[in-house]
Each structure stands twice: as structure tokens, then as C-alpha cells.
């Protein structure tokens, strides 16, 4: 009979056992952080990867678990991403401190996954921190000023006109039925590529088999579901591996797309340098280009060529999913709630008559449409959650947040919480009549504080121009198989309907 001592020596077995005990003690100590600061949480386990197993099995738990956990523990509760503690906070008073007054304590969105996107996208505004973030943010912010948005109005309007023209073809060639996500996705792709890369891609022409190579590559790139990559969870569980990944220029995104768009940007930049073209996001970055040497010398404004590529790419990723899905959800709500659609259409007619056309100023006067859009984004949030990383120990309103803790802000959950909204599952634009009465900590579709979404105003402009043009010419209606409200949603690369949504259009007489 073979005994353990026939396999390894007694000393080796003692060493293995001692190592196991020490590791277990280390894990146990790490899992005492939340208990020691009196943050309620479910007990972490090794097989549960701390408390992550539910999200690993079903990423939708990232936002659905809020309702169960809040009922169990209240507005503040914790969890472990393997050994790293996080605290979910839905208390608006604490969030106000985190986002605004104590911004220097919570300057970054996260620490995990910042170094695993490839050298270009590691320099994107959503990944960089500290002085680099401030320099890039200061450089790009003027791009979304009123004056610059007016200059980009024509880009957006051209894309919206192509969209309405395609909807007209759908209406005349068939029963008016169309795939909402596909149609708005193509529209948004046109707008983002035109503004971020300075190129016209005509993705909406794909209906006629004329899709360009740029549109094809962008569509494939945007279809990637990052959370299906197991390495994402490896980096979430062991965030220190990100530093190693950065050394080897590893990316969780397929390299072929990053290489393709990097070369495209190089080509467009050289063209624009020879002859300055229309105002777009890329042109702003070209006008502000600096060298790596300038960065080393402490430049406070400007972007390098690498940062230019990274921020063009992140604009494509971040703006495409959120903007197209915001349009999908708004179209669905207007098709279901006909009275809201009617009020929007009447307002559009009135505003256009007052301004003599659909101008930038006219779009700003579409107050009821803005109410509908805000209510749609409350009910169907564009992101499941926001995050802020704590860089020093702090206590806010009796809640202690240790250094190295991620604060999770449950955007989806707060948007549907009965504690904050009456009848939260009902689409009611009237509740958004006076935004001074809406707490910006509870309703934050584009984030809050200094690190909110930089492209928010551009996205809102694109959505309102599109619907102003669409509703002038067409009625939106549901199909026989259109699901009843509220829609079930899922998280892929962003929040989207769980099933394909079809609506139909008929021409306005």
C-alpha cells in the first residue's frame, strides 16, 4: 500500500500544509475588511471567487442583484471581487460627497482593466488617471462646447437625413416593419465615425450591399462582447496582472481592429494636416497634438498621436452602444405611449415654425422631447452602474471607505427604485418636467461630477435631431410581436433589450 510518505517526504508535506494554512489565513484576513468597518455583505467563499461567481455566471446580476441586496442590507452594502472589497452605495447624500466635494479622494472610475486594452486604448480618457487624465480632459472638453457642436450640427444632420430616407424606403417597400436596433445602430455608427475619425462610412447604405470597409470593420469591432473573454475575469480577480499585460502590450480587444483603426487615423491625420476640413472630434485633437517630449516636460494641454488614436477608439466604443440603445429605448417608448409621441410631434412642428427650421437653437427648445428622453434613460439606463475608486481612507456620513475600495453606484437600480420614484416601471415624461426637482445623484445616465461622460451633449444632440426629423415624417407603432412594457434588458457591451425589437412606421399625412 502506497502511503503519502512514499510520494513526498514528511518535510515536504509539512511545508505544503504550512503554505496552505498561511494562504488561507491571508485570504481570511483580506475578507475581514468589510466586517471591520461594519459594511453588511454576503459571506465570501473561495469557490464563489469572493462574491463574484453570480456575475461570472450571469453578467446581468451586475445590475439585477441590487434589488435583492438592497432589500436585505439597505442603501449601503459590500462585496468582494476575489480579495478586493467593493461597496455599493445608493445613498444620494453620500454619493454627492463622493462625486463632487471629495472628488480628489475618488478621482478615478476604477483600477482594474485599465492596462489591458493595448497601448493605444490604455491612453483613452476612460483609462488614464491623474495629470494625464486632466490634460486630455482639458484638451477634449472644448470639442463639446456649444460653438463646436453648432459646427458639427451638419455632420449629425446628414446622418439623420440618411436614416429618415432609409425609413421611408422601409415604409414604401413593405409593411413598415423594421429592426430597431439594427436601424439605429447603423445611424449611430455613421455619426460616430464621421465625428471621431473624420470619415464618411455610409453604414446605412449597407441595406443596398454598399457597406464600406470602414463600416464593416467598425461594426465587427463593436459586436465584440468583452465579457465573453475569460481573461476579463482573470484581470478583475487579479488586477495586478494588468501591469504585466501592459508590458507585453496585451489587449482584451482583438489586435486586428486596433491596428486597422490606428492606420486609418494616421491616414486621415495626414490628409487633414494638408487641408483643414470640417470640425469634428479628430480635428480638435489634431489641432492640439503634442509630442511625448512635451508630456515629459509637463504639458498641461494637448494629446499625443497615441492618445489621439486611443480616444478616437474609445469614442467609437463608448458612444456607439449608449447612443444607439438610447434611441432604441426612446423609439420603443414613443411607439407604446402614443400620447407622448403625439406631444413630441406637435412640439417639433411648433419649434420649427418659431425658428424657421431645425437649427441648433431649435433643438435646444425641444423641452418635451427632452423629458421623454430623460424618462426613457431613467427606465432603461444606458449603463448598469458607475464606479469610483477610493485613494485614501475616508468616512462619509458614518460610512467608512478604506483606501483601495471600489465604490459601485447602481445606476439601473436607483432608476427603478420605489424609494426614489413613484410607480417606477411606468414611462411618465411628466416626472422630468422640472429637472431641479430630480436628484442628479439618483438620476445619472451620463455619470456625475468631473468624470461624467464628456460626449453627453453630442449624444443628446444626435438623438434629438434624429427624432425631430423622424417624427415629422412618420408615426411609430408597435408590431404584433413587440413585447409589452417594461422591456427586459440585458448587459452585453452595454445595456440593450433582451430580445430583438421590431416596430413599424407609417407616413405622416
How far apart, in Å, are the Cα atoms of 292 and each of 37, 247, 296? Answer: 43, 18, 6
Q: What is the dihedral of CA 147, 151, 152, 154, to 10 degrees?
A: 140
Give 242's Cβ-side CA count (13 Å radius): 21
CB 140 within 8 A of CB 285: yes
How far apart, in Å, are the Cα atoms of 457 and each of 224, 302, 411, 440, 446? Answer: 26, 21, 19, 16, 10
Annotated binding site: 453
From the number of C-beta atoms within 10 Å of its C-beta (0-12, 13-18, 19+), residue 213 rates as exposed
Q: Can you tell me which residue has the cell 432608476?
A: 415
The neighbouring-strand residues paired with 87 are 78, 407
For residues 435 and 452, give the distance between their C-alpha atoms in angstroms, rounded to a whole number: 17
CB 502 within 8 A of CB 182: no
For residues 3 and 200, give the distance between their C-alpha atoms in angstroms, rounded to a whole number: 73
For residues 317 and 127, give the distance between their C-alpha atoms in angstroms, rounded to a whole number: 13
- Beta carbons within 10 angstroms of residue 391's beta carbon: 17
CB 323 within 8 A of CB 467: no
How far apart, in Å, are the Cα atoms of 331 and each of 172, 185, 336, 376, 430? Answer: 20, 13, 9, 9, 17
- How large is the C-alpha radius of gyration of the chain? 25
The three-class DSSP label of residue 407 is strand
Q: What is the dihedral of CA 281, 245, 215, 303, to 10 degrees?
A: 10
Annotated binding site for heme: 453
DSSP per-residue codes, 378-406: HHS-SSS-EEEE--S-EEETTEEE-TTPE
Amino acid at each position: 500500500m502506497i502511503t503519502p510518505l512514499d510520494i513526498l517526504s514528511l518535510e515536504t508535506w509539512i511545508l505544503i500544509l504550512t503554505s496552505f494554512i498561511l494562504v488561507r489565513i491571508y485570504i481570511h484576513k483580506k475578507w475581514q475588511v468589510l466586517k471591520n468597518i461594519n459594511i453588511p455583505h454576503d459571506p465570501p467563499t473561495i469557490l464563489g471567487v469572493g462574491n463574484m461567481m453570480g456575475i461570472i455566471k450571469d453578467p446581468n446580476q451586475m445590475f439585477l442583484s441590487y434589488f435583492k441586496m438592497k432589500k436585505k442590507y439597505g442603501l449601503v452594502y459590500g462585496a468582494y471581487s476575489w480579495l478586493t472589497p467593493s461597496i455599493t452605495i445608493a445613498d444620494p447624500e453620500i454619493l454627492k460627497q463622493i462625486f463632487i466635494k471629495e472628488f480628489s479622494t475618488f478621482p478615478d472610475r476604477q483600477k482594474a482593466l485599465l492596462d489591458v486594452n493595448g497601448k493605444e486604448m490604455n491612453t483613452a480618457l476612460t483609462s488614464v488617471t491623474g495629470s494625464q487624465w486632466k490634460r486630455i480632459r482639458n484638451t477634449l472638453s472644448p470639442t463639446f462646447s456649444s460653438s463646436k457642436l453648432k459646427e458639427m450640427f451638419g455632420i449629425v444632420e446628414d446622418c439623420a437625413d440618411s436614416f429618415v430616407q432609409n425609413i421611408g424606403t422601409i415604409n414604401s417597400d413593405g409593411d413598415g416593419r423594421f429592426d430597431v436596433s439594427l436601424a439605429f445602430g447603423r445611424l449611430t455608427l455613421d455619426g460616430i465615425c464621421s465625428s471621431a475619425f473624420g470619415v464618411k462610412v455610409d453604414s446605412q447604405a449597407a441595406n443596398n450591399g454598399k457597406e464600406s470597409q470602414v463600416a464593416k470593420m467598425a461594426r465587427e469591432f463593436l459586436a465584440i462582447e468583452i465579457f465573453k473573454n475569460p481573461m476579463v475575469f482573470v484581470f478583475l480577480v487579479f488586477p495586478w496582472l494588468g501591469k504585466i499585460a501592459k508590458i507585453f502590450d496585451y489587449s482584451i480587444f482583438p489586435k486586428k481592429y486596433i491596428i486597422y483603426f490606428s492606420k486609418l487615423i494616421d491616414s486621415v491625420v495626414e490628409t487633414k494636416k494638408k487641408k483643414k476640413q470640417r470640425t469634428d472630434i479628430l480635428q480638435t485633437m489634431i489641432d492640439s497634438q503634442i509630442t511625448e517630449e512635451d508630456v515629459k516636460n509637463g504639458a498641461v494641454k494637448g494629446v499625443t498621436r497615441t492618445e489621439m488614436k486611443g480616444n478616437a477608439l474609445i469614442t467609437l466604443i463608448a458612444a456607439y452602444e449608449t447612443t444607439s440603445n438610447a434611441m432604441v429605448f426612446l423609439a420603443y417608448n414613443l411607439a407604446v405611449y402614443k400620447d407622448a409621441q403625439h406631444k413630441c410631434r406637435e412640439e417639433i412642428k411648433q419649434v420649427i415654425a418659431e425658428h424657421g427650421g431645425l437649427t441648433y437653437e431649435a433643438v435646444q427648445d425641444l423641452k418635451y422631447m427632452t423629458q421623454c428622453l430623460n424618462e426613457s434613460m431613467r427606465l432603461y439606463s444606458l449603463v448598469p452602474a458607475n464606479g469610483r475608486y477610493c485613494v485614501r481612507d475616508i468616512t462619509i456620513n458614518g460610512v467608512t471607505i478604506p483606501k483601495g475600495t471600489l465604490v459601485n453606484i447602481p445606476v439601473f437600480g436607483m432608476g427603478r427604485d420605489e424609494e426614489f420614484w413613484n410607480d417606477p416601471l411606468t414611462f411618465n415624461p411628466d416626472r422630468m418636467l422640472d429637472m431641479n426637482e430630480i436628484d442628479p445623484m439618483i438620476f445619472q445616465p451620463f455619470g456625475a461630477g468631473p468624470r461624467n461622460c464628456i460626449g453627453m451633449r453630442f449624444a443628446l444632440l444626435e438623438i434629438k435631431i434624429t427624432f425631430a426629423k423622424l417624427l415629422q415624417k412618420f408615426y411609430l407603432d408597435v408590431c404584433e410581436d413587440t413585447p409589452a412594457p417594461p422591456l427586459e434588458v440585458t448587459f452585453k457591451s452595454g445595456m440593450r433589450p433582451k430580445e430583438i425589437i421590431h416596430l413599424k412606421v407609417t407616413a405622416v399625412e
